[in-house]
Amino acid sequence: MRLIRTFSVVTLVGAALLFAAPARADWLLTPFAGATFSGDSQKENFTYGGSLAYMGAGVVGFELDFGYTPEFFEPDNDEIDLIDDSNVTTLMGNIVIGAPIGGSGAQVRPYAVGGVGLLRTSVTGTDEFFDISNNDFGFDVGGGVYIFFNDHVGIRGDLRYFRSLRDPEEDNEFDIATGGFDFWRGTGGITFRF
């Protein structure tokens, strides 16, 4: 029985190494578009942005992700609208964990991502009656998949959860707790690998 388990484990590891792509360093540039939803999002909102990721020779890399969502806090058209303009901007530094599957050229790379950064919210009332802007620290977690058609071009599907962070105490100590502002973002984009 022990011999069968050992053989099974060795076979699975060997198969994974056989089908895994050879290690190489990649820069991945992805302009994206999609929607924000749930949480504090009043409705599904169009969002767009871009990310630049570096995947080293292993499975761990880093990413800089920028997203912009106009009209984030504005209600549906059939409701009374006291908001003239609103938006949410995110700028996150992330750790990316993803192993390539397939050889050189065509390749699939599922990944998980998470990090911290800036969540900026801005709301302006009708006739500029009020103007509120907040810069908060926040975090994002999520995942997705890259699908490459050749060595340089592919597509990416991505789903992330964003939440603000706050200092729970009014003291001089450094404490972090989750804030009350959150939303989900689903995007797709074209990825350029170099």
Predicted pLDDT of residue 145: 97
| CA angle centred on 185, ends 180 and 190, rounded to 5° | 155
Percent of the chain with pLDDT over 70: 75
Query: What pLDDT was estimated at residue 17?
Result: 40
Q: Which domains does the chain have, with CATH numbers?
A: 24-193 (2.40.160.20)
Q: What is the dihedral of CA 155, 98, 117, 73, to 10 degrees?
A: 40
pTM of this prediction? 0.81
First to last CA, the chain: 47
The tokens for 130 are: 């009020």
Residue 18 is inside which H or E element, if any? Answer: helix 2-19
Q: What is the pLDDT of residue 86?
A: 85
Q: Do 90 and 66 touch, CB atoms closer than 8 A?
A: yes
Helix (H) or strand (E) holding 57: none
Please report the pLDDT score of residue 172 as a whole number: 60
pLDDT per position as a tens digit, 29-78: 999 999 999 998 878 999 999 999 999 777 999 999 999 999 898 766 65
CB 146 within 8 A of CB 111: yes
Look-up of token digits 């192993």? 99
Residue 1: per-residue pLDDT: 44
Question: Residues in the chain with pLDDT < 50?
Answer: 1-21, 23
For residue 102, which amino acid is it? G
3-state secondary structure (DSSP) of residue 66: strand
List of residues 6+ apart from 47 with CB closer than 8 A: 33, 34, 35, 36, 67, 68, 69, 185, 187
